[in-house]
Amino acid sequence: MNGQKEPPSGMGILFLVVLIDLIGLTLVIPFLTYFVQDLATNDGFTEIGQRDLWVGIMLAAYTFGQFLFTPILGALSDRMGRRPVIMFGLISNTIFFIAFGLSGSLWFALIVRFLAGAGNGNIAVARAYIGDISTPAQLKGRMGMIGAAFGLGFMIGPFLGGVLTDPYTNFGGIFLSPWWQSHPYFLPCLVAGALSAISFVLAIRQLPESLPIESRTKVEAKENFLKQISSNLIGIQDLSIPVRILILVNSLFLVAFTIMHTTFILFTAMPVAQGGLGYDAKANGYIFAFVGLMGVMVQGGFMRSSLAERLDTRKMMVFGLLVCGLGLGWIPYLTPESFIIVLLPMACIALGNGLFQPTQSTLVTLEARATQSDLGRVMGAQEGYGALARILGPILAAFVWAETVNGSGFWTYHTVFRLSCFLTVVAALAQISLKLTSSQEDE
């Protein structure tokens, strides 16, 4: 914005806060499926299809909260500043991570996950923060830093979550008690909450505000809050056509990605005789660590290089979509004989995602500036509709998987991954046909 630079340590502390936040979020990946299956079984859902359907519903509950409230949080950050909204999200994470670990029923777990999603708009506000302090030439690299935080979080979080699960069995010692035996998933949730608390302390002490008071959106006292909520949720129609299409492309990509994320472990854990890979949690952990490492290399390394600055942002985005789609469609055709070969489609997915996320964020930021739209509102709308995509993805994946996993002919477990591939191709075609307003992207 007018070439202004960030306050001292602004980007560094923002990166650290987002990284710790994402480690906490990804800690649940290794055990969430098993936790939900246990809760569902205890609540009487013993049939495999019904039980696994609850996994998709639980994944969707968090993002349903995000869908409803992230646009509101984004708009609030335009009015109050970015810093207080980020800190509110960290407090929310601390409380609800710990509460989730204490869940004793499906309904309590669903409510807690919904509230956790409702209170956490940190990624959208972090992107708006970067937009506040960056010039157009800096945007791709700095948006890539958020992607690098995703990659590192995806490496560290699932590893910690797997190690910390069931401390009664794995560690013994102080954990050898009936309480820890009956709460095998509480320790990783406690650590996730503690990490968010650490982030909160760091933000309080070192994260400067990025949005000057004179640049904040003014709110009239007579404004109806419910009307404003409605405007935030459906107000995408007031944004420019390029911004809307970019948000749509992002949503399609996220539906495809979350479909894969929901069903990937279900596929790799299937017995080899049934077409799966027969992998255990440890093998899947290696795969997630590899994907995270690739994300760090692409978004934290390549996207901050001089070569990436010279390449066309739009072409990089389209290429990322197509490469990711190739990896998604490849998954169900894997065989367990060579672990290295299994990593190839995951490399495509990580590369494609690593190219897509920062370039899409760059283009939507530049378009918002070119049309003089409030950046927090645009990013809030993007994250809100992204959250809707992350609701539809797990639910759609769960239903398609349940209907086709035991099928034959064309309608088999391959179907859900073919659907993911198809959606990325549609997103790429929409991006190719888009006419941009901004001419600053290569400045």
Residue in 154, 125, 130, 152 with CA at minimum distance from that of residue 141: 130
Cβ neighbour number for residue 430 with a 10 Å cutoff: 16
Residue 412's pLDDT is 84
Q: Which of 52-56, 175-179, 224-228, 267-271 has the lowest mean pLDDT?
A: 224-228
| The pLDDT of residue 177 is above 70 | yes
| Burial category of 146 from C-beta neighbours within 10 Å (exposed 0-12, middle 13-18, buried 19 and up) | buried
Could you report the per-residue pLDDT of 54-110, keeping only the tens digit for each?
A: 878 888 888 788 777 777 777 788 888 888 888 888 898 899 999 999 998 999 999
Residue in 376, 436, 388 with CA at minimum distance from that of residue 245: 436
Residue 231's pLDDT is 54
Q: At what angle do helices 375-404 and 48-80 cross, to 10 degrees?
A: 180
| The pLDDT of residue 389 is above 60 | yes
| The pLDDT of residue 30 is above 80 | no
Number of H helices, E strands in the chain: 18, 0
Q: What rounded mean pLDDT belongs to the chain? A: 79
| The pLDDT of residue 235 is above 70 | no
Q: Which residue has the tokens 């923002």?
A: 14
Residue 109's pLDDT is 93
Dist. CA 112–CA 404, nearest whole Å: 31
Dihedral of CA atoms 305, 309, 314, 318 in degrees, nearest 10, equals -20
User: For the residues 370-377, what does the mean pLDDT come to?
Assistant: 72
pLDDT confidence tier of residue 223, bands split at 50, 70 and 90 = very low
| The pLDDT of residue 388 is above 50 | yes
Could you report the per-residue pLDDT of 327-359, keeping only the tens digit for each?
A: 999 999 988 877 888 889 999 998 998 888 888
Residue 420's pLDDT is 93
Residue 234's pLDDT is 61
User: For the residues 379-397, what does the mean pLDDT come to?
Assistant: 80
Residue 282's pLDDT is 66
Residue 3's pLDDT is 44
Residue in 368, 306, 349 with CA at minimum distance from that of residue 78: 368
Q: Which residue has the tokens 């029923």?
A: 105
pLDDT confidence tier of residue 5, bands split at 50, 70 and 90 = very low
Strand, coil or helix: what is 443?
Answer: coil
Could you report the per-residue pLDDT of 125-146, keeping only the tens digit for each?
A: 887 888 777 777 777 677 777 7
- Choose between 308 and 266: higher pLDDT: 266
Is the separation of the CB atoms in 86 and 128 below 8 Å? no
- Choose between 227 and 81: higher pLDDT: 81
| The pLDDT of residue 325 is above 90 | yes
Distances (CA, A) of 171 to 122, 167, 176: 34, 5, 8
Question: How much is the pTM?
Answer: 0.73
| The pLDDT of residue 227 is above 60 | no
Could you report the per-residue pLDDT of 255-300, keeping only the tens digit for each?
A: 999 898 888 877 887 788 888 888 776 677 778 778 878 877 887 6
Residue 222's pLDDT is 39
Architecture per CATH, 10-206+227-432? Up-down Bundle (1.20)
| Burial category of 173 from C-beta neighbours within 10 Å (exposed 0-12, middle 13-18, buried 19 and up) | exposed
